[in-house]
Chain A
């Protein structure tokens, strides 16, 4: 019996009925390999949540983190294609390092917020949920990769590409956070406000990480920044530079 991630309550018992999680008949089926893990994250998140509490849970967490790392490297390569040059190598590394690092920084606070909400999850369980969040959002980014590549080849605007990547990341993280929330609902969490606050903190930390590891999309003289800066100030400066920069297409006549 899985004590930390039991199956969702039966609607017939009068309990809540989360559509993403119920009606899953084979949650007890073990997850075999990364492909099965990806499939389960997308189609049967309840299976992942159940298996996280089993004896093979640590291996599943490692698989989830491996998926997050692999997918981040692939998406990072697409990000690096915008500036090309050395960024083709640096962008994937920075994204693959930055995302798990953001998660690691926020892991203790997630555990505390969950515990304050009444969750019975152990730190290892919380790590599993966080790994699921990172894996699912990274998988989603792979779905956006072809679109991002087309735009990378079409524009020279740093602001445009930055906004696009952040847009894709926000959508991807939204689904990841939904997974996290669904996971905590299984851990007898009474109040979810704390976890909701944590979600905002996680997003801010991840955004700041993009500034701390800059340049990721553009270029600079150094691999890592020599000056500390808040991410909003960094964006504002980039928007100012972009507004003063006239791309060749800006003067092209409108074509029908």
Chain B
């Protein structure tokens, strides 16, 4: 029996976090636009709150920009890979529809966003205590690492929940692992590029506060990684 029959009931959030696979399995079977809307609201608020906390270190305007950009990255990644994820699932042995695959990815992003929201006061506090002139200081890097660790934790926790759900739907851990790996690889690949296009995030103090850099579409994330690695190798 579904204890949260109303799609807009906020009590469904803890159930998502607890990974109630049977209940979530029922949700994705239904066509409930309101439940999707609820999840989108959680993503916008959760990732937005975390973004605002991270951006607050640089400037209030950067805070606003980041509050918009983080949910935008999640949304664009889910939309950009939606078709591919929907194709990969049945090809890898999990016979679900495009709508269901999109809902599953959305649910995992909802879990990540809820976790990010929960950590945003800590991030805000840490960055508030870090002087803005400390861009090269150890305190800044500790704060930066903290952010990365929180984002990684949110992503891993959501993936673990998603794996349990995929396993329940497929009835096979191997298939669930393959689908999860394929989805994660695709989302990370595209998500990294969209993040690169929508930079800056924390923002260097010597550069002006902008929603997007003037050269946002000049180059890719992977080219920049290649350049950094190339530079490191040539210095050795």
Contact = CB atoms under 8 A, between A and B. Distances in A.
B208 to A, nearest CB: 11
Interface residues of B, number: 38
Contact of B87 (A20, A139, A157): A139
Interface residues of A, number: 30
Interface stretch (B7-15, B25-33, B43-51, B90-98): B90-98
Contacts of B199: 255-256
Interface string A141-155: 011111100110111
B132 interface: no
Interface in B172-208: 175, 186, 189-190, 193-194, 196-197, 199-204, 207
B91 A256 contact: no
B202 A256 contact: yes
Contacts of B196: 154
Nearest to B227: A250
B84 A249 contact: no
Nearest to A252: B215
B224 interface: yes
Interface in A207-256: 247-250, 252, 254-256
Contacts of A35: none
Contact of B189 (A42, A145, A147): A147
Contacts of A157: 219-220, 223
Interface of A: 19-20, 42-43, 139-140, 142-147, 150-151, 153-157, 160, 175, 178, 247-250, 252, 254-256
11 contacts: A42-B91, A43-B95, A142-B83, A144-B84, A155-B223, A156-B218, A157-B220, A157-B223, A178-B91, A248-B218, A256-B204
5 tightest Cβ-Cβ pairs between the two chains A and B: A249-B219, A143-B84, A249-B218, A146-B80, A43-B90
